[in-house]
Chain A
Amino acid sequence: MLIKFRTDKKGVKISGAKDMPPMPASLGLMNWNKTSSWRNLKPIIDYEKCIDCFICWKFCPEPAIKIVDERPVIDYDFCKGCMLCAEECPKDAIATEVEGK
């Protein structure tokens, strides 16, 4: 993915820090690196117990928890299985499953 430069009405490049590519000659983000293979434990949200406090979303270090339709959803492509969300959940709505069972 190459970053596109912003242009003004006449098609002239607007330069500025926010228009620079993330790194010189950058090829893009690390999104291709699916870190799901790092995972031993798998968190699963029980949406009946969930009270939408978004504490799991707030603390996810990846961030692998996204907000979809005002509910937290775990992106299993990137979740590394640290189980921080399950530990911090105030309602114990996140269950732990051993991966590969």
Chain B
Amino acid sequence: MKLTIPEREIMQPGHLACQGCGASMAMRYALKIFGRDSVLTIPACCWAVIDGPFPYTAVNVPLFHTAFETAAVMASGIKAGLDVQGEKSTNVIAWAGDGGTFDIGIQAISGAAERNDDITYIVYDNEAYMNTGIQRSSATPHGAWTTTTPIKHYKIGAKKNMVEIMSAHRIPYAATASVAYPEDLCKKLEKAKNIRGFKFIHILAPCPTGWKSDPKYTVKLAKLAVQTNIFPIYEIENGLKYTQNKKVKQRKPITEYFKYQGRFKHLKKEEVEFIQKSIDRENEILLKKF
């Protein structure tokens, strides 16, 4: 028996995630690496619900529910408290969705990055406020349908480039990862675990409910996002050293990625061409940095 990721399971079944949830996969891999000796802080996001009603929990590690904007601050505070007690080995993880990171929590995460607190900030990005009913966030890609950007007024404007924003703080480690490549994701989490200072990991977690896709295509979509260059996988050390983790030899057309999702069904041909052009341009800019 040859396993490519650790066998231990910290997260337990029985949680309340939808069928084929990418966020629960991301948590499973993270806890496999970080183990029982870790503390989670979770703001309002899908995981606040997935974890279960109050006296019960699915993650099997200490967990703090925080206000929407304070995941990073709370993690900093817990880390400071543990330092005073002399608990140096405990991993403190701030676990937030894209809303709590890209929009509401950005000042808290920027502050924690500036102080270079020894915490790991993981954002699972499902590209909208899925928990409250699929409202647009600044992680929603151009052209996507959400309940606040209906098909007549679909979202205009590209997704915020959060990894670049974080690497501009010159933090020791920032990376993007995808649930479709667990080996790569586990390697990055392991690396983040062994670095002291502020670590930021951005995980793309497809959401069948919000993306209007079949639950069975979760991994396929996460893979296609990398293969079409819409979500490149790379890591940045100390804000300067870029490493490409998944090289895409022949990028697939973006229509491959769109055809499995209901949220892009309304897009006309010209719009798709525009999106394709902007992806290629962004990728050219990124490739120069490696």
Contact = CB atoms under 8 A, between A and B. Distances in A.
A29 B14 contact: yes
A61 B57 contact: no
Contacts of B39: 17
A25 B55 contact: yes
A98 interface: no
B1 A30 contact: no
Nearest to B26: A61
Contacts of B24: 61-62
A87 B217 contact: yes
Interface in B1-59: 1, 3-5, 7, 9, 11-17, 19-22, 24-25, 28, 36-39, 51-52, 54-59
B3 A84 contact: no
Interface in A24-76: 25-35, 38, 52, 54, 58-59, 61-64, 67, 70, 75
Interface in A70-99: 70, 75, 77-78, 80-84, 86-88
Contact of A30 (B5, B19, B20, B56): B56
A77 B90 CA distance: 33
Counting chain A residues whose Cβ lies within 8 A of the other chain, the interface size class is 35 or more
B37 A18 contact: yes
Contacts of A86: 216
Given A31-B13, A87-B220, A61 B52 contact: no
Contacts, number: 121
B215 A31 contact: no
A76 to B, nearest CB: 11
A20 B82 CA distance: 13
Contact of B28 (A20, A61, A80): A61
A79 B58 CA distance: 15
Interface stretch (B60-68, B128-136, B154-162): B60-68
B90 A17 contact: yes
Contacts of A31: 12-14
B219 A88 contact: yes
Nearest to B40: A22
A12 interface: no
Contact of B215 (A18, A54, A82): A82
Given A30-B58, A61-B20, A62-B24, 17 more contacts: A17-B62, A22-B59, A23-B54, A23-B63, A26-B57, A34-B14, A35-B13, A54-B1, A58-B3, A59-B25, A61-B28, A70-B1, A81-B19, A82-B20, A84-B20, A87-B217, A88-B219
11 contacts: A17-B90, A22-B61, A22-B62, A26-B57, A31-B12, A33-B16, A61-B25, A63-B13, A82-B19, A82-B215, A88-B219
